[in-house]
Amino acid sequence: MWQGWGFFQNVDVTSDVNEVLWKHIIADPTFSYVGTYEGGYTYATGVWRSEPISLMNNNISYINAAGRELIVKQIKNLSGETFTFNEFKQRDVRDAQALTRSASVAADKVLRLPPPILIKVD
């Protein structure tokens, strides 16, 4: 339901690379590091994300490719501009420094928060 309203487009409940919401990114050789990695939306299992690490895992300064695309789409939408994947791909910058720093940071499972509770208000 929430994904139908545009929320949580950076996670999926399938690991099938032909079905996930970011399958078009996986299909592009520029993004060879994008795939399906279990654990997302505060769940350790049953939910998949596009990269092994991101700011949502251990608070590093790195947004995964699917998240970066969603941010650019929203900015383009709000500014009345047209989003194209090719333009995104040409302008996208993957911050390797954040990835290097994150290699030594381990997620502390004891500190995990419970899943958020979303309430539909009519």
Does the pLDDT at position 102 exceed 70? no
Question: What are 108's two structure tokens?
Answer: 């502390």
Residue type, position 74, single letter: Q
Q: Which helix (H) or strand (E) segment is 112 a member of?
A: none
Give the pLDDT mean for 12-34. Answer: 95
Give the pLDDT mean for 92-109. Answer: 61
Q: Which helix (H) or strand (E) segment is 31 a member of?
A: none
76 burial type by CB count under 10 A (0-12 exposed, 13-18 middle, 19+ buried):
middle
Looking at per-residue pLDDT, the higher value among 100 and 59 belongs to 59
Does the pLDDT at position 88 exceed 90? yes
Which of 69, 65, 49 is closest to 57 using CA atoms? Answer: 49
Q: What is the pLDDT of residues 28-87, one digit of tens each?
A: 999 999 999 998 887 888 999 999 887 776 667 788 999 999 999 999 999 999 999 999
pLDDT at 111: 58
pLDDT at 72: 96
